[in-house]
């Protein structure tokens, strides 16, 4: 369709034909486009670029991620940072002696956030270059400053440096959200540190643990992620003012071969943009290893939350724990009684997506040629924002779940009681041997009775292993009361309760004491549908 023309689909039997000029029900002057597309009329969709519901929208923005993270990666933020970078460059160049007038910089400042995206799009359609399109659009708004915009710079001066700023802000928000999830899980772990529950290995009942101890496993994974985020923030640097291939040759020309001034220019711009240091060497771009490391960090968060989310889905299946469920929430459109673990399921789905993006960073870093190749651009436009939006959405959900978990204590007690006779068999074996029984014979008696009871339980019967052993002649020397005393679940949880207390007081509290002052309170983020 030609530039500026509108169009619509007119549905004929089994045929979709696109026409120029729009639709006028009183007109017969519609001109059919050549080669009409033959499709079933069911799939004919009216075409109008002005109707947003007729264009794909990223669910990360419309359903899942917070407005706060979405704002960091918005066009306004991105291009506003470009303009601030151009101002910082012009200011620094003037401070170091270039002929740039204060009025020119003031003219830029006056319109720094007044971005005419339509004019920029107009220029980009002609120039096929997004950075130069915005140079021209801003030059029209600030004509006196037009000659000094982007002076000496290459495109990566604004694109790479702005993305590093966005990455820094995003990591800070991720850190803040991690602190909130960890806090909520720590509170849950402390509350339920003494509540025995079945442990599982191979997804089969195993030695008991406690609800609180299990929560520390989820918590510690996220603590490792928090430490990695802090490391990424502490080592993240600025690209700075490096020129077209990283040699700063153009700036050396601008400053008549004065190396000291070029070095000072790099430092000044770096400091003005909020960084304490720049990467010591770059090509045209900063090393794409940095992106790969950041994506690996976000993938780690996805891994931790997927594991915790999967555990919660299993426990909700067993009715031992429940995630928040709103008063009017519907679990199933057909089965009205259902209470599905929607939040934990969504975490798992989003986590798989975020984990998958890690490979993009690795492949992009590996595929860069010499000082730079542009095949990184389209991939990074997708990968970096979506990885952060996905991780943000995951942590919003995780905070909501962790702060609202509901424990079903009676169900947990019943499940533990059903399995405790099996758990007690080793202790019963020791009691029988201490009473004079043959250890090997006792072992065989317990084995035979246990298998028979397990078969009975699998058919819906009760676990009567204690009664069977108490009545067996092999255990005649052990009072039934002594056998029954070994069924107390708390006697089988080892140091689980103590481990929770030690983890919280000796490890987690000092870490949170360090992290909380750095972590701002994130804006309230609603769990999307």
Name the token pair of 282.
């770059």
- Biggest CA–CA distance in the chain, Å, is 106
The backbone torsions φ and ψ at residue 279, rounded to the nearest 5 degrees and listed phi first, read: -60, 135
Contacts of 190 (CB under 8 A, 6+ apart): 212, 500, 501, 504
Place of tokens 């170091």: 96
Q: Cα dist. 523→92, 397, 526 in Å?
A: 35, 14, 10
Alpha-carbon distance 383 to 359, whole Å? 10
Q: How far apart are CA 235 and CA 324, in angstroms?
A: 38
Helix and strand tally (H, E) in the chain?
20, 6
> Among residues 286, 188, 199, which one has the least CA distance to residue 246?
286
Catalytic residue among 27, 52, 53, 202: 202
Q: Are 197 and 209 in contact (CB under 8 A)?
A: yes
Catalytic residue among 71, 332, 441, 505: 332
Return the closest-CA partner of residue 218 out of 353, 412, 405, 358: 405
Q: For this structure, is 332 an active site residue?
A: yes
Coil/strand/helix, residue 11 = strand
Residues 6+ apart with CB under 8 A from 421: 453, 463, 465, 466, 487
CA 325 to the chain's CA centroid: 22
Contacts of 65 (CB under 8 A, 6+ apart): 389, 390, 392, 393, 396
- β-pair type (15-20, 7-12): antiparallel
Q: Can you give 113-124 as a three-state secondary structure string?
A: CCCCHHHHHHHH
Active-site residue flag, 202: yes
Helix, strand, coil share of the chain (percent; to 5):
60, 5, 30
Give yes or no for a contact between 451 and 438, defined as CB atoms under 8 angstroms apart. Answer: no
- In three-state secondary structure terms, 45 is coil
CA–CA distance from 5 to each of 18, 26, 143, 422, 510 (Å)?
Answer: 12, 19, 32, 76, 63
Centre a 10 Å sphere on the Cβ of residue 99 and count the other Cβ atoms it contains: 8
Instruction: State the Cα–Cα distance between residues 134 and 123, nearest whole angstrom.
Output: 8
Please give the positions annotated as active site. 202, 332
């Amino acid at each position: 369709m030609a530039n500026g023309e509108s169009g619509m689909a007119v549905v004929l039997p089994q045929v979709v034909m696109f026409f120029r000029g729009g639709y006028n029900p009183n007109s017969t002057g519609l001109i059919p486009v050549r080669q009409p597309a033959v499709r079933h009329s069911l799939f004919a969709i009216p075409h109008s670029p002005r109707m947003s519901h007729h264009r794909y929208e990223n669910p990360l923005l419309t359903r899942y991620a917070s407005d706060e993270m979405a704002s960091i990666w918005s066009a306004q933020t991105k291009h506003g940072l470009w303009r601030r970078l151009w101002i910082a460059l012009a200011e620094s160049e003037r401070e170091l002696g270039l002929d740039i007038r204060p009025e020119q910089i003031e003219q830029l400042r006056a319109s720094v956030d007044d971005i005419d995206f339509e004019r920029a799009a107009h220029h980009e359609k002609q120039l096929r270059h997004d950075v130069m399109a915005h140079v021209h659009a801003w030059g029209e708004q600030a004509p006196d400053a037009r000659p000094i915009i982007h002076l000496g710079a290459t495109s990566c001066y604004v694109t790479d440096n702005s993305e590093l700023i966005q990455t820094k802000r995003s990591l800070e928000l991720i850190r803040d959200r991690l602190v909130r999830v960890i806090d909520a899980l720590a509170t849950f772990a402390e509350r339920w540190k003494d509540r025995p529950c079945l442990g599982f290995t191979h997804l089969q009942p195993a030695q008991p643990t406690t609800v609180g101890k299990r929560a520390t496993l989820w918590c510690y994974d996220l603590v490792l992620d928090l430490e990695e985020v802090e490391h990424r923030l502490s080592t993240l640097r600025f690209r700075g003012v490096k020129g077209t291939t990283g040699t700063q040759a153009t700036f050396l020309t601008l400053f008549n071969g004065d190396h000291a001034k070029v070095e000072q220019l790099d430092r000044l711009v770096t400091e003005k943009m909020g960084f304490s240091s720049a990467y010591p060497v770059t090509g045209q771009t900063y090393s794409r290893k940095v992106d790969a490391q950041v994506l690996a960090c976000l993938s780690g968060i996805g891994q931790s939350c997927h594991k915790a989310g999967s555990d919660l889905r299993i426990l909700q299946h067993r009715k031992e724990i429940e995630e928040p469920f709103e008063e009017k929430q519907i679990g199933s459109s057909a089965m009205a009684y259902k209470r599905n673990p929607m939040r934990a399921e969504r975490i798992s789905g989003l986590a798989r997506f975020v984990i998958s993006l890690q490979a993009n960073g690795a492949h992009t870093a590996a595929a860069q040629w010499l000082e730079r190749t542009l095949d990184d651009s389209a991939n990074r436009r997708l990968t970096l924002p979506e990885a952060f939006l996905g991780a943000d959405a995951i942590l919003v959900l995780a905070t909501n779940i962790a702060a609202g978990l509901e424990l079903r204590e009676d169900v947990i007690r019943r499940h533990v009681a059903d399995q405790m006779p099996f758990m007690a068999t080793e202790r019963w074996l020791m009691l029988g041997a201490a009473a004079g029984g043959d250890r090997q014979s006792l072992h065989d008696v317990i084995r035979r009775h246990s298998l028979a009871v397990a078969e009975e339980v699998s058919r819906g019967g009760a676990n009567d292993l204690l009664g069977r052993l108490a009545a067996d002649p092999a255990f005649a020397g052990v009072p039934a009361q002594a056998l029954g005393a070994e069924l107390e679940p708390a006697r089988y949880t080892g140091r689980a309760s103590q481990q929770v207390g030690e983890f919280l007081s000796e490890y987690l509290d000092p870490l949170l004491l360090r992290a909380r002052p750095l972590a701002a309170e994130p804006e309230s983020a609603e769990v999307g549908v």
